[in-house]
Amino acid sequence: MPETLKLVCHACGQANRVPRDRLAAAPKCGVCGAPLAAGKVAELDPATLAKAIRDDLPLVVDFWAPWCGPCRQMAPEFIKAAAALAPAVRFAKIDTQAHSEVAARHRIQGIPAFILFHKGREVARAAGARPAADLVAFVKSKLAA
């Protein structure tokens, strides 16, 4: 029997089971039909983020705010990194201005800030705008450790 992964749909928050060997086949949510590992960056709300950080796939979260210049500069690079690491790693972002309680819970002191989560725990964090290649290397180095 193939190994299955638990993935929370970033669109509707529903938990899904996906066979690991089907990740590259563009799995979709069983409830809403949204792609589960398409290499896109999802904007999450606090409730969905709380569920998604416990997924079986690593999740990189960008803590950002609309008024932050470096955050806006980083957005296209974050999108490139998401595409480069798909489907093995998922990417999401959360607006710290709209959801300041999430920023406080995760001890965000400056933005943009990136936290790599895997199976419910924080694996690593980084801060500051950076090229996509640097973010990809950061994620790969932390997951290899």
* Residues with catalytic function: 68, 71
Give the dihedral sign, CA 143/39/9/63: positive
The Cβ of residue 68 has, within 10 Å, a number of other Cβ atoms equal to 17
Alpha-carbon radius of gyration of the chain: 14
The terminus-to-terminus CA distance of the chain in angstroms comes to 28
CA distance 55 to 1: 20
